[in-house]
Amino acid sequence: MLLLTFHNNQMNIKHLFLIAFITLLGSCKQDSHLYKIEGKQVPISDSLESKAEIDSYIKPYRENLEKNMSTVLAYSVDTYSKRDGELNTAIGNLMADAVYEESNPIFNKRTGKNIDFVLLNHGGIRSIMSKGDVITRTAYELMPFDNSVVVVELRSAQVKELIEYLARAKRAHPISRLKIVLDKDYGINSAFVNNKPLDNTKIYNVATNDYLYNGGDHMDFFKTNDSLHVLNYKIRNVLLDYFEKKDTLNPVIDDRFIQIKN
């Protein structure tokens, strides 16, 4: 009916009824025509007020968590992200090294053997580590999942597959005590475990997490294994124990997984 306001000076009453009738017909047929879309995103910043009702609902949950989360464990020299670094990242190196350092004594005590190297997954680094105090919460944010350390015995053929997988993936999956150099076409130039070339007769003890062992990220080389050792040690607890032992965290991007560019 508002159409009238636009045209009333040009129309007689008969036309008006006709238009009204057609409009009515149109709405009966649910004739709604999309003619314009406007899209944007609104940042949730601190300029927005918090809704008090929501905030007070969260409060008891938050306070209970805070009691458990705020213990200071170490100090981080910088902010580290899994996005910084091409084939290895400082934060990934820290996590893989922590898994080696914290798990190997347990593995050694139980089996008399040592972990040869560690492989985790890049996607398993769930947050940055911010510059400043590292608290219990930091470990929960880096590793919120309840995944645990497992040690898988792999023959050299499977280790070779593992290295080929990493070369194909071109991703900074965290490793420790394994060194891989790729050529400019992402072929394998060289690979070392604990600074030694692969030994075809050796069985390697590879520490990883149960997510990857069970087929996560299609790391299928873990399926053909000689033996599995379940340490019942959550990766998050590895980090908590590691942080507690260190005063200062200053991980670096190094040469453990690199590509020769020319």
Partner 1 sequence: MKRREFIQHTAAASALIGLGGLGLQSFSAASKKITILHTNDVHSHIDPFGPEDGRNANMGGVARRASLIDAIRKENTNTLLLDAGDIFQGTPYFNFYGGELEFKLMSMLNYDLATIGNHDFDNSIDGLYAQLPHAQFEFVSANYDFSNTILNTHVKPYKTFIKDGIKIGVFGLGVELDGLVDKKMYKETTYLDPTEAAQEMTRILKEDEQCDLIICLSHLGYNYSNRPERISDLKLAGTTKHIDLIIGGHTHTFLKKPTVMKNLDGENMLVNQVGCYGINLGKIDFYFDADKNKSANGVSIIV
Residues that bind partner 1 (CB under 8 A): 2-3, 6, 23, 26-27, 30-46, 48-55, 57-58, 61-62, 64-65, 68-69, 79, 81, 126-132, 137, 140-141, 144-146, 170, 210-211, 214-218
Q: Are 234 and 158 within 8 A, CB to CB?
A: no
Smallest distance, partner 1 to C-beta of residue 105, A:
26
Smallest distance, partner 1 to C-beta of residue 164, A:
17
Residue 29 to residue 126: CA distance in whole angstroms: 51
Any idea how long the chain is?
262
Smallest distance, partner 1 to C-beta of residue 36, A:
4
Nearest to 193 by CA among 207, 210, 212, 213: 207
Nearer to partner 1, 17 or 145 (CB): 145
Smallest distance, partner 1 to C-beta of residue 208, A:
13
Residue 152 to residue 57: CA distance in whole angstroms: 46
Nearer to partner 1, 182 or 193 (CB): 182
Nearer to partner 1, 27 or 227 (CB): 27
Smallest distance, partner 1 to C-beta of residue 43, A:
5
Nearer to partner 1, 187 or 215 (CB): 215
Residue 259 to residue 262: CA distance in whole angstroms: 9
Give the number of other Cβ atoms within 10 Å of residue 148's Cβ: 19
Residue 181 to residue 233: CA distance in whole angstroms: 31
Query: Phi, psi (5° rounding) for residue 151?
Result: -115, 125
CA terminus-to-terminus distance, the chain? 73
Nearer to partner 1, 39 or 197 (CB): 39
